[in-house]
């Protein structure tokens, strides 16, 4: 599913609303699905996640070939990608704080590095991993892993490629993350279990997990 740029003529009501909100702090997410503002953003409903399009990107769902279960949602473009995964979390607590050291340890076991730093969304991991390219060579794959604790959910976002290393490029991808909403649901789930993603017919399916994104609810 590819997203293109689309311009819509401003209506008189929209102009009035914009003027009324001038100077006010913009409302940003990620949101709980029940608290999504009436912002006019058209989000793709993927069950546990509602994802807003990024102009020039393609929405993909990464599917496990063996189980046929969706593992993650990917917004991909020529410059890089943003991988999204949502997990069940306790009502009160810091699941991201609990799993962050485990993700860093897993990256080290795979021969990579993970450096913690403070970012736009709080503590994040900046990672480097040696991978094999399709032509058999080895190269460095950069990624940046962000975690957002929500209302009984954790949203984990992994920036891949240029958005992981270039601040100017990353800005628009981070903005895209602020538009995501998570639908936790009322059913009981073990902490750390992935929230189910619905596979829409129009989405492009691809197989296999992202190389730089370890399984999320590790040790949870």
DSSP per residue over 142-153, as a string? EEEEEEEE-SSE
Confidence band, pLDDT 50/70/90 cuts, at residue 77: very high
CA distance 86 to 47: 11
Query: Is there a domain that residue 26 lies in?
Result: no
Among 36-45, 83-92, 184-193, 198-207, whose mean pLDDT is lowest? Answer: 198-207
- Is residue 6 a part of any domain in this protein? no
In a domain, 57, yes or no: yes
Report yes or no on 109 lying in a domain. yes
- Asked if residues 148 and 120 have their Cβ atoms less than 8 Å apart, the reply is no
Q: Are strands 70-77 and 80-88 parallel, antiparallel or unpaired?
A: antiparallel
Looking up residue 185, the CATH number of its domain turns out to be 3.40.1000
Our measurement of the distance from residue 143's CA atom to the centroid of its chain's CA atoms, rounded to an integer in Å, reads 12
Most confident of 22-26, 65-69, 106-110: 106-110
H or E stretch at 81: strand 80-88
Residue at 38 is within a domain = no
Residue 104 dihedral angles phi and psi, to the nearest 5°: -65, -40
Instruction: Answer yes or no: is 135 within a domain.
Output: yes
Beta partners for residue 31, in sequence order = 181
H or E element at residue 12: helix 12-20
pLDDT surpasses 80 at 33: yes
Whether residue 15 is contained in a domain is answered as no
Total structural domains within the chain: 1
**pLDDT tens string 180-206:** 999 999 999 999 999 999 876 654 444
Across the chain, what does the average pLDDT equal?
Answer: 82
Q: Is 115 a member of any domain?
A: yes
pLDDT tens figures, 129-153: 998 877 888 888 999 999 999 999 9
- The reported pTM is 0.79
Host domain of residue 49 = 44-206
pLDDT of residue 1: 53
């Amino acid at each position: 599913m590819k997203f293109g740029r689309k311009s819509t003529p401003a209506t008189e009501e929209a102009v009035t609303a914009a003027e009324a909100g001038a100077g006010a702090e913009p409302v940003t997410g990620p949101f709980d699905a029940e608290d999504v503002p009436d912002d006019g953003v058209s989000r793709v409903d993927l069950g546990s996640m509602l994802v807003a399009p990024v102009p020039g990107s393609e929405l993909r769902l990464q599917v496990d070939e063996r189980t046929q279960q969706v593992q993650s949602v990917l917004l991909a473009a020529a410059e890089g990608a943003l991988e999204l995964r949502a997990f069940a979390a306790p009502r009160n607590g810091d699941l991201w704080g609990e799993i962050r050291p485990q993700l860093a340890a897993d990256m080290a076991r795979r021969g990579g590095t993970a450096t913690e730093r403070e970012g736009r969304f709080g503590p994040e991991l900046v990672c480097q991993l040696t991978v094999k390219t399709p032509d058999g060579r080895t190269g460095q794959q950069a990624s940046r892993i962000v975690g957002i604790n929500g209302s009984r959910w954790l949203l984990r976002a992994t920036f891949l490629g240029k958005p992981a290393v270039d601040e100017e490029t990353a800005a628009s991808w981070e903005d895209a993350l602020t538009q995501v909403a998570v639908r936790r649901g009322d059913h009981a789930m073990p902490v750390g279990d992935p929230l189910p993603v619905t596979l829409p017919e129009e989405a492009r399916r691809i197989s296999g997990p992202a190389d730089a994104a370890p399984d999320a609810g590790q040790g949870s």
